[in-house]
Structure 1
Amino acid sequence: MKPWLKEQWCIAPKANADFVAAMEDVLAVYQRPYDERRPQICLDETSKQLKADTCERLPLKPGESERFDYEYERHGVCNLFLACEPLAGKRMVQVTQRRTKQDWAQFVRDLVDIHYPQAERIVLVMDNLNTHVIGSLYEAFPPAEARRLVERLEIHYTPKYGSWLNMAEIELAVLMHHGISQRLADQEDVRRQVDAWQTRRNQKAIKVDWRFTTADARIKLKHLYPSVEVSLGE
């Protein structure tokens, strides 16, 4: 079963106008053609548990897999912010100790000023986590700076229980399974592996072939749409 179908089971079976409204808004964004002046960026974050070996690993031998002890020491967790531009095959990852409002705000400012300084507006798709709000920019920066950043953003939120609509989740899944699936002891280890992964993936300009459209949603998720009775009058 596809991951987004698994999450779909969490959605209340009754009609949900707020869900379909937010879903169709995001799907409409995904139908827009590529425009370097208004790049479409999907943003999400996840955590990585830090684990250190308790004993030295055995040296590798030809034809054998790496062997290490199952026991490990917990060294806490770190956070990973990931933003991707599916139409351009580009992704940006930042490893942080936490994921507070200030951390999110700093990541957004880096998107605006470092990664997309020439963009008129960044079309930003993300879930409605309580840190993903305009107010976070005002908590992190002076009012004039926060407003400058706000005016460079066009924000679209995925619906509640609809984070599968965020293409950044696809990139995070690839990162977690193919980039940093191994045991890593500290934040610097994670950062080195993340940098290597995103460099390889960006060099190949790997894009996301998103095919789920509003037309599909109105058929496959028909039960979520409210039933509207239209009165034709006399």
Structure 2
Amino acid sequence: MARRGRPTVQIELTPEEQQTLQRWARRHKSSQALAQRCRIVLACAEGGTNNEIAERLGVNRVTVSKWRRRFAADRLEGLADAPRPGAARKIGDDVVEAIVVETLESAPKDATHWSTRGLAAKHGISGQTVSEIWRAFGLKPWRQDEFKVSPDPDLVERIRDIVGLYLNPPVAAAVFAVDEKPQMQALNRSAPTLPTTPARATHDYERNGTVDLFAALEIATGKVITDLRPSHTSADFVAFLNKVNREVPTELEVHVVLDNLSTHKTPQVQQWLLRHKRFHFHFTPTYGSWMNLVERWFSALTTKKLQRSAHRSVKALTDDIRAWVETWNDDPKPFVWHKSADEILQRLAGYCATINENDRFNLTGH
């Protein structure tokens, strides 16, 4: 039976293209879109169908087909976003590639990263042209993401454990992401916030006391169990665990994702766990609080409610938080975890390789 559909374009890379794609795929300054396109092309060069590559990289088959064809036609320049309709491009592909490579792999003598003006002067083009190339390739060299490599000796095991809970939760069990948001201040601005776009608020305010918020986000449903207390001691944490215990059906096991805060590991907490056998703690790696999904919920609370609110007392603040939580739980929206443990560890390995490569370059000078 004859094969139907468009034939798959075969990708063969030169050594220079292979090295460039590998650098762009792992370099932390690359945009996520550009890095993903590089990984797709590298996978195509290794062989395999679009379906197989799509499943392995967690993308759509159409996406693989698109970048396979774009690279086959235009090589490295084909990884940029398609130009918008308008006048024909006046600069050559060699200049575009030079701008991208220099942005990712070099820096001027007087700065840590290139500016549009600096690259424009070096190549004799306009700053607007440099800006358009950056936009096409998703490059933002002025931005800096913060990251801390965890020294946790159980890093791999803990990542696999927590990701497993998120992606494949145990049967007959409830999984919660738990944390505290301490020292939330009841702030009152010296003048009302103006409802302009963007909103304008005075820089000065008066402090009217603080409160600590405990929250347990149920991964499956998005519902949140909360408790507001004047402090966040070990005794307060145990009291919050008792509240969670009362609200979860007794026939369910309870798995709790939480960080390595000393309050979570005191003898008082350990004794509580011995009395409540259905509770199981899963600690995030050191410097790994980004793995705790309740942090996403705290962020939503801050940006949607607290950031622009004003409160003349702690009671006003707590009433506001309780009302917001009640509204949230009326129509909860769970946060969905997408990355597998292997993808996280692979990206971490690439980050470490980049650090080692840069350190080696700085030590040797070449």
Question: TM bucket by the smaller chain?
Answer: 0.7 to 0.9
Per-residue CA deviations over 1:66-106 (Å, capped at 9, x if unaligned) read 98754322223211111101211211221111000000010
Per-residue CA deviations over 1:33-84 (Å, capped at 9, x if unaligned) read 474x3100000111311223557x59x99x9999875432222321111110
Structure 2, unaligned stretches of length 5 or more? 1-30, 33-143, 353-366
2:289 to 157, 163, 168: 163
Match of 1:10, as an amino acid? K
**SS of alignment partner, residue 215 of structure 1:** helix
Q: What is the aligned-residue RMSD (CA, Å)?
A: 3.1
The count of aligned residue pairs is: 209
**SS of alignment partner, residue 173 of structure 2:** coil
Structure label with greater radius of gyration: 2
Query: For residues 31 and 134 of structure 1, what CA distance do their matches in structure 2 show?
Result: 30
- The alpha-carbon deviation at position 134 of structure 1 amounts to 5.8
Q: Does 1:19 align with 2:150?
A: no
Distance 1:106 1:67, change over 3 A: same
Match of 2:214, as an amino acid? F
Kept after mapping to 1: 8 A contact 2:166/2:219: no
1:76 to 179, 197, 209: 209
Kept after mapping to 2: 8 A contact 1:91/1:198: yes
Match of 2:311, as an amino acid? L
Tell me which residue corresponds to 1:207. 334
Per-residue CA deviations over 1:152-207 (Å, capped at 9, x if unaligned) read 20110000010000001000110111132212232221221112212222111211
Kept after mapping to 1: 8 A contact 2:215/2:225: yes
Identity of aligned residues (%): 23
Query: For residues 152 and 243 of structure 2, what CA distance do their matches in structure 1 show?
Result: 36
Tell me which residue corresponds to 1:45. 180
Tell me which residue corresponds to 2:274. 147
Query: For residues 329 and 286 of structure 2, what CA distance do their matches in structure 1 show?
Result: 30
Within 5 Å, give how 1:1-234 maps onto structure 2.
6-7=145-146, 9-11=147-149, 17-33=153-169, 35=171, 37-47=172-182, 48-53=184-189, 57=192, 70-113=203-246, 115-133=247-265, 135-137=267-269, 147-149=274-276, 151-181=277-307, 182-222=309-349
Kept after mapping to 1: 8 A contact 2:216/2:225: yes
Q: TM-score, normalised by structure 2?
A: 0.50
- The alpha-carbon deviation at position 30 of structure 1 amounts to 1.2
Q: After superposing the two structures, state which structure 1 stretch, 189-198 or 101-110, moved more.
A: 189-198
Q: After superposing the two structures, state which structure 1 stretch, 91-100 or 154-163, moved more.
A: 91-100
Query: For residues 149 and 170 of structure 2, what CA distance do their matches in structure 1 show?
Result: 31
Match of 1:41, as an amino acid? F
Structure number with the higher helix fraction is: 2
Query: For residues 167 and 158 of structure 1, what CA distance do their matches in structure 2 show?
Result: 11
Tell me which residue corresponds to 1:228. none
Tell me which residue corresponds to 1:232. none
Query: For residues 217 and 67 of structure 1, what CA distance do their matches in structure 2 show?
Result: 39
Choose between structure 1 and 2 for higher RCO, CA contacts under 8 A separated by at least 6 residues: 1
Distance 1:67 1:127, change over 3 A: closer
